[in-house]
Each structure stands twice: as structure tokens, then as C-alpha cells.
Structure 1
Amino acid sequence: MKRARIYDVREGDIDYHKQLSPDKAFLFRSEESLPDSMEGDIVFIVDQTEKQAFYTIATDILCKSTHKADKQGVTFKYNNKTYSSTSGTRFRKYDILQTVEISAGWVWCHSLPDNPVVDLWNEQGDNPDRLKNVNELQKLFTTGPAFEQLDRYNIQVDIVDIPVNQSNIKMTMVTSSTHMKKKETISYEHPYRKLLMAIRTKPFVLLSGVSGTGKSWLARKIAYMTCADEALRKGEQPGNFEIVRVRPDWHDPDELLGYQTIIQGGRVRYHCTDVLRFIVKAWQYPHVPFILCLDEMNLAQIEHYFSDFLSVLETVRSDNGRIIYDAFISHSRVKQYSREDETFWMQLGLEGNDPLMQHFLMHGISIPVNLVVIGTVNIDATTRTLSARLLDRTMIIEMKRRDLWHDLTAAQEKWEYPETYEIAAWLRQPPLDRHVAYSRYPDIGMTIMQRLEKLLHVLDNSPFELSERFVHSTLVYCFLHNELAIKEQQKDDWLNSCLDEIICMKILVRISGDSNSCRPVLEKLMGETAYYPVSRRKVTHMLALLENNGYTSYW
């Protein structure tokens, strides 16, 4: 288990504020103030003056400082923004995973040392005040990933000295904790590994297959697994889940994100939708993945009603270490609606939430980074085909009908919440940077690129050429599996399995048409899929369809 520390912000610590990002998504600390820090270290930062506490994790990003022109302190740059400090040579970036407000009256119940940095957990030896510190921090972090992480430190069995009748008797202490409960973490054997990895790669996933294969059921299951805030677990379904059933008569984006009308007096009124309210709700729980399920997306022409949403998804970018999207309702429109429509904030469910209202007034309403869109598409004669533009911007997972004997003998599925929420914390980790991953594992990266070049060459000068998005998605998907392979000490064939899945999800789904357009590509792919058995079987099936019908497709 990684080392954990407490950083108690003391009065007069001006460096702390100068090294906190404007959006409080991350902060920097000098290697001198947090000595011997390593990537992966957990640091709980408590600022009683500002009444805030942060749950952070150390990254591998180090910035070298330079002296100011007046020699009064140092500065360093990160993502074109300048940070300053009174002293220090190297500054490490700490990502903020959870932020809480410190309630009035909260103080440390026991004195911390003069040093503001205190070890909470260290494998080299136990801190005798660990249990006290964990208890105090859990009064601040009452839910979410920080609470779960603190519980892990709480359960560790340690030898501590307890004075009994003036004698020191060594006793083993065990505390009741959720650590004793069964943990559900991502692994190669996890039944939903492929979907979870696809979500981490791109937060827009399509589940395809014939009707009755459990597509919307799986989306709901993921919501149960990731509903990490108790406040969201009080209704008939997880509060982080919304299912919207697409109608055949949907023809424009208004069906998803709402629309404005002119009312009496020339004033503007905005009509909100369930999707918009769910997006706003997700903003209020940034530590919880929110699962939006668009059911039977291809009952209507997807490009007609989903084009604006798809375009906004493409605006994702990093800004000072924070992932952001363009606003789909601009800040000027938000100001107009809130001024002219007295029901606007009430429709969004934001009455009384002044901080979020102010955020939308300043920046507009955009997609929150914890939103996951899972669409389901039924493949039959009554539904519409999927365009290349859509396929290029999503991860597609084909779902098969389960064995009939399984349906008869398997236990009935229960909708229940897990005991711990490691999957939620894993999904909310910062996006994997393919360039950083490539620099860490150049041999794996080179192997992936060499195999990708062969696949891309097959599609050159065909109607099914792939874009840079494909390369990016493949690298991220493979590097995520590489991290898992290292953790589980997997054999070398993990990469073949991973690329086998990518070929199905991103390449074969694009191929459809007659013999002239498809046969040359499929025959070349037949020669390139010797190490990818699932893809090879699918290519064989598609060639057979072409032979029998003169037309083929993935489904």
C-alpha cells in the first residue's frame, strides 16, 4: 500500500496559495517541503484557515524553478501558467481527487507535531497516532474515495505500545473497517473489464447487438458499481444513473439538451430536458461517475439529434491540468435565461446552489468530466445503420445472446450496491496520457505502433481509412491494459488479446458494403489477423456474408 501523509497548512504558508491551480484541480509542493516524495504518494491536505481539505495523489510531473529577477523567491511554469514560491528547486504536481468543506468547529483533537508534514501510513513503520488521525480525517471526508482510502489505513493490523498498569504491553489492534469487506477492483478476470477499459479510453461507448442481450441492463449495473456517494443511493435506482429511451420521431438536438421559446413580453424561456438536468446533477458530485444510458439510439437518425452533443464531446482538452469541454449553453445565454426566466434555476434543480450557479454564469454549461455516455443500438431490420463519423468517435462493444442453459440455471440478478467502490475511484482517475505512457514503456509502445502500422496499411486507399482518433484510442486502451498486466504479472499474450478487441471495436465495425469495396480489405485483414482469433472469426463470417449475399457488414 502506498505511503500516505498529512499536510497541515499553517498560518503564514503563502506558498500554498501560490501553488494551487485556479480551478483547484491540482497543486504543487516543493520537494523540500514534502521530502522524499514519490509518484503515487497519498497526501491529505487540511487548510483550516480556508476551511477546505483535499485528498491528493502525487504525480510524476516535476517542474524546475528559476529565481525571480529581483531574487525574491522563485518561479516555475506549467501549461503556460507561472507559479511562484519563496524557495525551492523542484516542485511536484499533486492531483486533487476530492475536496470537502471543513465544518465550523472542526479542529484536530490532538496536537500535531511542529512539522506540518505527518506520516499517516508508511510501510517502514507504524505511526502510533495513525488511528486517531484516520478518525479525525474521516470526520472531514465522510463519503467518497477519500473515506474509502482512509478505511484501508484504519484496518491495518499493527503492533503498538499501549500503557497498561504502568507497563508497556505490546498488543495487536484490529479495527472494524470496510477493508474487511470484499473489494471489487479492475482485473483481467473482471466480467465487465472490456466495458470499463473502454470507458476509461473514451467516455462514449456503444453496446450493440440484437434485442434482449442485456445492453441497458449492463449500463445500469455499472451505475450500481460506481454510486460512491451515499446521498445518491436512496431512490429506487442509483442517483448516478439516467436512462433515456430514444424515440423514432427525434429529428434535432432539442430532444436531448432542451430549447428556448419566446413567452409573453418577448422574454426567453428555456425548456430543460431530463438529460440536461442529469448533466447538471453530475456537476454536483464530481467524485462519482454518472452513467447516461441512451437506449436504442438508432431508432432515429443519430446524426440528426446527437450531432451537437457529439461535436461538444470532441472539444475535450486539458487546461492547466484540468479536463474541460466547450459549453453547449454559453455563459451569455445562461445569464439571459436566468434573468428572463424565473424558473430556469428551478428547472435545473439548482435553487440554493450558489457556487454552481455562479460557475455556469461565468463559464456556461458544459459536459462534466465524470459523465459517461453509454448508448445501446439494436441491430435488426427496423433500425438505422451507424455512420462512419459516429463509429470514429466511440468505442463499440458487441454483446452476444447468453447461453439458454445459463438463463435457466443462473441465480436471479439482484440490484444491489457493492460494499466498496474501488471501480468508481479507478474510473475517476485522471485520463491516461499516451505520451507519458510511451515514455515509461517504450518497448511496449514500439510494439503497439509496429502492429498498428500493419493494420493501417491494410486500410490505406480504401473507403475505411482510419483517423488519428483511432491511433489515440488504441494507444490509450493498450497502455491501460499494460498497467494491468504489470500489476497482475500477465503473460506476453495480453497485447494480442487487447489488439484483438480493438480490431473488432474500431476497425471491423466500419467495414460494410459490396464486394468491390469490402473484399480486398477483408482478404488483406485475413492475413493480418493470425494472432487475433476473435477478429479472424469475424472476418471469416463477413467474407461468407459477402459470398452469399453480395453485401456484408460487421453485424
Structure 2
Amino acid sequence: MGLIIPKCNADPRTLDLTLKIYYDANDWVENSILIDRLSAYLISEGIEDVKKEPQSYTKKTQVLSYYGLIEWEDESNNQSRRRITENGKKLYQYREKKDLMSVLSLLIDILTNKTFGRNVLGCDSDSDLEAPNIFLKSCLMIKDLTNKEFGFILGKMEFEKMELADALFQVVLLRSKGLVVQPDLAAAKWSDPKPILALADWGLFTVTKQGMSKIYNVNKIVIDSFGDRLNALRTKNTDVQHIPIRNKLWEEEAFSYLQSPFRPYITAIKSKPFLLLAGISGTGKSRIVRELARACWDEDSIEYKAQKPKNFEMIQVKPNWHDSTELMGYISRISGKPIFVAGDFLKFIVKAWENIDVPYFLCLDEMNLAPVEQYFAEFLSVIESRKRNDDGNVITDPIIKPEFEINKDSETKQIKTWYSKLIKELLAECPLEKVFALTKEFEEYGISIPQNLIVIGTVNMDETTFSFSRKVLDRAMTIEMNEVDLYAGLDRNYECIGKLKSDMLIGTAVEGVDVYADNEEVCNKVLSYLQAVNDVLNGTPFKIAYRTRNEFLLYVVNNLPYNVNDKGNELSEDEVIAIALDEITSMKILSRIEGDDTKIKHSLLEGLITTIEAQLLILTGEEKKIESISVAKLKEMKERLTLSGYTSFWS
């Protein structure tokens, strides 16, 4: 089924091995026997090294008691013995057979029929709330639910007697304002509850780490198969059974940011953190980069009010740049000893490493005043090495490799002096608590591109500038900025973007495979569109391959949450897909088409127009037909080819 069961705080085998003891006994099990057998199992499986304190094994039992998978003997006998229940036997058998769908169905039956909360025998719980049910219903309503948000919701329900729908709305409203939810102390115990993490071990939802927080999401296969049953789970302290994902108030308040005209920039960055902003002079290309950086901070913060936030750097490209020394730096031997003189770009890379949870924006102003392939070669190579590691973080090859030398006496390697001094210089202003970890990282692996670094080049295409090779265009997302509204910005700041959270900009998906399993139906629609377009491009140098395919998939998936238009009307999923496909067609396909009438025929442009219109119409239907920016651009390019015998994407 493609279901991924994550590894949480505890190895999921611990719960399975505990059930095995009860299952094999099929009768009451003494506490001392449980401890001895479970300890032996855990040590033989390599889960633990030595036998632990007795209470640690009792705690492992509590989760199973919580869900009614084992039962305790009557209190009069000091609760010294326990045995497996019928549900416990079923769960063990299903887990042994790796029958995941039966496991999920059984768990949902338990959640539906069992009462959780206060006085569950053998469990530490003084709450009247059915936390597992509230948790799952919250996950269905809110994507990427954090442990703090869950604690906040439970606190609102238990101590303020708030309905679940109202508590959920409070979270969404705080999110839209860019505020971090802070649960009160009484609810803090729910920020990492073991009974709920057990549901992740059994496959009901996924857990990922983001900084100090845990992020929870119900597995797509669970939603597809059991969504209605989960949404109907009862919860104490509220009569709400089915909660609409959004009501009118949610749309007007909490989701207003979805209507932002900056959505294409935001989702393009999340898909590939390398953008080209092209257009006539004076349209505010470099200013938008600065305002995107500013939008990452709260309005009352020092950085938001600063002329230049610390997460923004502008570097003016010079016409005489023909290598990377101005950006990256160079080794100087004037003093007789090698000394590395760091460039501004390298310094900014390290600053981004020091604040990995904040998006950092580098603006290369007038990027094509010099040949990009010459002064930016290292970055263009390294950006293509991006991949997601086992922790879910995006890593790259080093842009500055570590330098070693051999100690002749011991034949051991040690860091070269100039490289060691460079690291110390670059980390001179780094907070002390981060210096050691970053020094070790740079010495062992070199200095690579952090996943929070976003590079945006501004481009004016005229006779004084260099054109872009396909190598550059293939690696970047290109957005045109030629529209000018002369009435804009007179009554308010035109580039007022609103608060941007880091997860809106920093993507953890790098390739199509990272999003395909969870979005198979959507991705197949994208692939069908791409295949039709590629059939037209077949036999030309503009035919697309895997890199572009991956970026199409990422861009469309990243746009799925943005399903409210500028009039506040909700869009269907197919409409969102069509709009995103149209935008990225312009960014990634049309930007590469350039040449005279011996290379580009009218029939090619006409074929693209016809195919794109037809494919978008399949998604939206005639009644909801979108105004295609890629078709409009193709018509402009076709007219240019007719008039001058030459055409390109660039105006």
C-alpha cells in the first residue's frame, strides 16, 4: 500500500515484544516475569544495552493498557498481574503478518468504542479529555500540526471548556498572523504524550522534526481509507462530530494570506531556492527580495523595522566578473603564507548556517551584467547536488571543500592552517552554543549550501547584458515582472507581504519521488500534461527531462494549500493544478525557447498554444477556464518571430 511507518522516540518493536510476552502466555503474567523477559528481548534485539529499572518496563506496559490491549488484575491484588485482551491478540497477529490495513481498522475501532481519560487502570491520566480522538481530528483539520499546537488545543478544551472547532480556529488564526502557539503549563504535559506517539508506531500518522518541534500528519492512505470514521470520532467536552475544514470566518480571517499576489514567488522558492526575476527596470525586483526577507520577522521585531534585515544581502554584479573570487573569495600568498580572503557570498552562507530556521535571501542585482556561468560556476554545480537525507533535511555537496595535509611524523591528516583560520574568521560572530557544531561540520564535510539559503537574481534583458545559457535557466525558476500598476503603492506599502513562516519558504522535498507517493493522483495529472507538451517539443533542443519534471511536480504540490482566489472564492483541486501548471510552464519551459526562424518554427509555437489550452481545459472545464499567462506569452513570442525572424521569452 506504500504506507510508511515512522520510527518515533521508542523503537516500535518494544510494544510488539511486550505484546508477544502476553500473547505467548495467553494467561496472567506476573510483573517480575514481564520485566525479566522483556529485558532479555530488548537486549537480544539490540534495542537496549543492559537491564533497566523495573519502573521503565511498567511504563512500556502503560501504553498497551491505555488502548485496552492488555488488562490488569483487580486492585485488591496490587495490580501485580496482567494479561492480553482479544484486541491485543488481534493487534499482535496483524502486526506479525504485516497486515497494515487490518491494524489501522482495529485501532480505529478501539478509538471509536473505548473511553479514554481519567481512571484508565494502569495509566497516568488525570484528564477527562479523550486525547487520541482530539488529536486525530485536529490532524485531519490542520496540516502539519505541531506538538505545541496540540497542547494548546487540549488546554483550551480542558481548562477553558472551549469547543474543539473553536480551539482549532484559534490555532489557524494564530498561524495566519505568523504567531507561535504557546500552550499553558497545565497543557504542556500533552506536548509529547507516549500513548499518541504509539499510534505513529502503528501507522496512523507520521512524525517529523522541525527545529525543537514535532510535526504530525495523518497518513494519506489512512485519510483515503478511514477519513470519515476518524472525523466522526466522539470527543468529550464537545458535541462536535463533523467539523468543516473551513467556515466563512476561517476563510475571511485565517486564510486571507492564501490570496497573496506573492504566492508564485513563495511557492517557487519552496520548489527551488534559486530564482530569476526578469523585467524592465524599476518594477521593484530587488525590493521584493528585501521585503520577502523582512516578511520572515514579526512586525514589532527589530529586524522587521530595520532598513536591511540580517537575513538579507544584496550583491551588485560587476561587468568585469569572470571568476568567483568576488563572491566566494580567494587564497592570497602576499604575506608568504596562504590566507583565504572570504567573499561576501561565502560570509552570507555561513550566516545562514548560524540561523538555520530562518530563510536567508541573497539578491544578485543585475545578475547578467557578467557571464553567470563564469562567476557563479560553483553554485550552479552544487545546487544540483541537493538531496534529502534520512533526517528529512536538504543537504548539498560542499561549495568550499575541507583542505587537509599529511603530518609527516605520524602520517595522520589534519586541517590546513589557512582553512582552519577561515572557519574561525567566518564564525567569529556566531553564537557560542553553535560554534562547536558548525566548526566540526565545516572541518569534516566542508562548507555547503544550507537549506534555508535562497538566491534570487534580478535581470534586465537588453543590449548591455549577457543572455542566459540553458545551463542557468534549467537550474532556476524564472518569473517575469513587467506588469506595472501606476496607482499601486500610493496609499500603502505596495510590497507589504505579511508574515511568512519558514515552512512556507523552506522546502524539504527536492525530487519528484519526495512528493509522488503522498500525491499520486495529482502528480499523474502533472505528468499527463508534461507528456502532451513534450510531444510537441520532441525533436527540438527545448524538450524537457527529469530535472524539469521534478520541479513541475514540486511546484504543483507546493501550491495545493493555496486554494482561495483573490476574490475569496474556494478553488477546486483541479483549478489549483491548472493555475500552477500554467505558471511553471512559463517559468521552466518558455524561458528556454530562444532562436531565429531556422530554429523555431511558427508551427512549434502554435502547437504549444493549442496543447496547453487543451490540457488546461481538461482540468478546469469551459466554465472555469483560466486566463493563461503561458499562452499569452507564446502569442507574444509568435508575433515577435513574425516581425523580426527571431524570438525569445525575454521582452
Same fold, judged at TM 0.5 (above) = yes
Is residue 2:279 matched to residue 1:197? no
* Aligned residues of 1:208 and 1:398 also touching (Cα < 8 A): yes
* Aligned residues of 2:276 and 2:479 also touching (Cα < 8 A): yes
Counterpart in the other structure of 1:368: 450
SS at 1:380's partner residue? Answer: coil
Is residue 2:184 matched to residue 1:131? yes
Provide closer, same or farther for how the CA distance between residues 436 and 236 of structure 1 changes in structure 2, counting only shifts above 3 A. Answer: closer
Provide closer, same or farther for how the CA distance between residues 219 and 468 of structure 1 changes in structure 2, counting only shifts above 3 A. Answer: same
Provide closer, same or farther for how the CA distance between residues 426 and 526 of structure 1 changes in structure 2, counting only shifts above 3 A. Answer: closer
Provide closer, same or farther for how the CA distance between residues 273 and 227 of structure 1 changes in structure 2, counting only shifts above 3 A. Answer: farther
Moved beyond 6 Å, runs of 4+? 32-35, 67-71, 85-91, 115-119, 134-138, 144-147, 182-185, 414-417
Question: Offset of 1:217 from its aligned partner?
Answer: 0.7
Is residue 2:306 matched to residue 1:218? no
Counterpart in the other structure of 2:605: 522
For 1:255 and 1:116, locate their aligned partners in 2 and report how far apart those are by CA, in whole Å. 63
For 2:606 and 2:39, locate their aligned partners in 1 and report how far apart those are by CA, in whole Å. 64
For 2:44 and 2:597, locate their aligned partners in 1 and report how far apart those are by CA, in whole Å. 70
For 1:416 and 1:445, locate their aligned partners in 2 and report how far apart those are by CA, in whole Å. 33
* Aligned residues of 1:272 and 1:348 also touching (Cα < 8 A): no
SS at 1:283's partner residue? Answer: helix
* Aligned residues of 2:366 and 2:458 also touching (Cα < 8 A): yes
Question: Offset of 1:252 from its aligned partner?
Answer: 0.4
1:375-390 counterparts in 2 under 5 A?
375-390=457-472
Provide closer, same or farther for how the CA distance between residues 145 and 116 of structure 1 changes in structure 2, counting only shifts above 3 A. Answer: farther
Question: Offset of 1:246 from its aligned partner?
Answer: 0.4
Provide closer, same or farther for how the CA distance between residues 489 and 406 of structure 1 changes in structure 2, counting only shifts above 3 A. Answer: closer
Question: Offset of 1:392 from its aligned partner?
Answer: 0.6
Q: Which structure is higher in strand share?
A: 1
* Aligned residues of 1:186 and 1:423 also touching (Cα < 8 A): no
* Aligned residues of 1:269 and 1:341 also touching (Cα < 8 A): no
Provide closer, same or farther for how the CA distance between residues 224 and 125 of structure 1 changes in structure 2, counting only shifts above 3 A. Answer: closer
CA radius of gyration, larger in: 2
For 1:538 and 1:193, locate their aligned partners in 2 and report how far apart those are by CA, in whole Å. 20
Question: Offset of 1:34 from its aligned partner?
Answer: 10
Provide closer, same or farther for how the CA distance between residues 207 and 134 of structure 1 changes in structure 2, counting only shifts above 3 A. Answer: farther
User: TM-score, normalised on structure 1?
Assistant: 0.67
Whichever residue aligns with residue 241 of structure 1, its letter is F
Deviations 1:395-424 (CA, angstroms, capped at 9, x unpaired): 0000024122336xx225288895xx4532
Question: Offset of 1:264 from its aligned partner?
Answer: 3.3
SS at 1:288's partner residue? Answer: coil
Counterpart in the other structure of 2:522: 444
Question: Offset of 1:305 from its aligned partner?
Answer: 0.4
* Aligned residues of 1:268 and 1:341 also touching (Cα < 8 A): no
Of the structure 1 ranges 472-481 and 228-237, higher mean CA displacement relative to structure 2 is found in 228-237
Is residue 2:571 matched to residue 1:490? yes
Counterpart in the other structure of 2:43: 72
Which of 398, 418, 421 pairs up with 2:480?
398
Counterpart in the other structure of 2:399: 328
SS at 1:386's partner residue? Answer: coil
Is residue 2:349 matched to residue 1:349? no
Deviations 1:350-401 (CA, angstroms, capped at 9, x unpaired): 5752332222112211111110111111122211111111111110000024
For 1:132 and 1:347, locate their aligned partners in 2 and report how far apart those are by CA, in whole Å. 40
Is residue 2:387 matched to residue 1:308? no
* Aligned residues of 2:286 and 2:365 also touching (Cα < 8 A): yes
Of the structure 1 ranges 127-136 and 354-363, higher mean CA displacement relative to structure 2 is found in 127-136
Counterpart in the other structure of 1:101: none
Which of 585, 588, 605 pairs up with 1:503?
585
Provide closer, same or farther for how the CA distance between residues 183 and 423 of structure 1 changes in structure 2, counting only shifts above 3 A. Answer: farther
* Aligned residues of 2:272 and 2:476 also touching (Cα < 8 A): yes
Provide closer, same or farther for how the CA distance between residues 354 and 213 of structure 1 changes in structure 2, counting only shifts above 3 A. Answer: same
Counterpart in the other structure of 1:62: none
Provide closer, same or farther for how the CA distance between residues 432 and 314 of structure 1 changes in structure 2, counting only shifts above 3 A. Answer: closer
* Aligned residues of 2:609 and 2:634 also touching (Cα < 8 A): yes
Counterpart in the other structure of 1:243: 314
Question: Offset of 1:427 from its aligned partner?
Answer: 2.2
Counterpart in the other structure of 2:491: 411
Is residue 2:509 matched to residue 1:431? yes
Question: Offset of 1:481 from its aligned partner?
Answer: 1.9
Counterpart in the other structure of 1:206: 276
Deviations 1:427-447 (CA, angstroms, capped at 9, x unpaired): 235327633543334332222
Is residue 2:545 matched to residue 1:467? yes
RMSD of the TM alignment (CA)?
4.4
Question: Offset of 1:121 from its aligned partner?
Answer: 4.0
SS at 2:357's partner residue? Answer: coil
For 2:495 and 2:153, locate their aligned partners in 1 and report how far apart those are by CA, in whole Å. 38
Q: Which structure is higher in helix share?
A: 2
Provide closer, same or farther for how the CA distance between residues 336 and 494 of structure 1 changes in structure 2, counting only shifts above 3 A. Answer: same
Question: Offset of 1:323 from its aligned partner?
Answer: 1.7
For 1:509 and 1:224, locate their aligned partners in 2 and report how far apart those are by CA, in whole Å. 29
* Aligned residues of 1:210 and 1:380 also touching (Cα < 8 A): no
SS at 1:509's partner residue? Answer: helix
Provide closer, same or farther for how the CA distance between residues 341 and 202 of structure 1 changes in structure 2, counting only shifts above 3 A. Answer: closer
Provide closer, same or farther for how the CA distance between residues 522 and 234 of structure 1 changes in structure 2, counting only shifts above 3 A. Answer: closer
Whichever residue aligns with residue 269 of structure 1, its letter is I
* Aligned residues of 1:213 and 1:400 also touching (Cα < 8 A): yes
* Aligned residues of 2:324 and 2:374 also touching (Cα < 8 A): yes
Gaps of 5+ in 2: 1-5, 17-37, 48-55, 61-91, 99-122, 132-149, 161-182, 192-209, 216-235, 238-249, 406-413, 617-627
For 2:124 and 2:473, locate their aligned partners in 1 and report how far apart those are by CA, in whole Å. 58
* Aligned residues of 2:296 and 2:501 also touching (Cα < 8 A): yes
For 1:355 and 1:546, locate their aligned partners in 2 and report how far apart those are by CA, in whole Å. 56
Provide closer, same or farther for how the CA distance between residues 122 and 449 of structure 1 changes in structure 2, counting only shifts above 3 A. Answer: same
User: TM-score, normalised on structure 2?
Assistant: 0.58
Is residue 2:510 matched to residue 1:539? no
Counterpart in the other structure of 2:594: 512
* Aligned residues of 2:388 and 2:510 also touching (Cα < 8 A): no
* Aligned residues of 1:291 and 1:371 also touching (Cα < 8 A): yes
Provide closer, same or farther for how the CA distance between residues 215 and 34 of structure 1 changes in structure 2, counting only shifts above 3 A. Answer: farther
* Aligned residues of 1:289 and 1:370 also touching (Cα < 8 A): yes
Question: Offset of 1:451 from its aligned partner?
Answer: 1.1
SS at 1:404's partner residue? Answer: coil
Question: Offset of 1:192 from its aligned partner?
Answer: 0.4
Counterpart in the other structure of 1:39: none
Which of 353, 370, 391 pairs up with 1:283?
353
Question: Offset of 1:308 from its aligned partner?
Answer: 1.2
* Aligned residues of 1:298 and 1:377 also touching (Cα < 8 A): yes
Question: Offset of 1:115 from its aligned partner?
Answer: 7.4
Counterpart in the other structure of 1:120: 151
Gaps of 5+ in 1: 1-19, 21-25, 36-66, 77-84, 92-112, 139-143, 150-158, 161-178
Question: Offset of 1:236 from its aligned partner?
Answer: 3.3
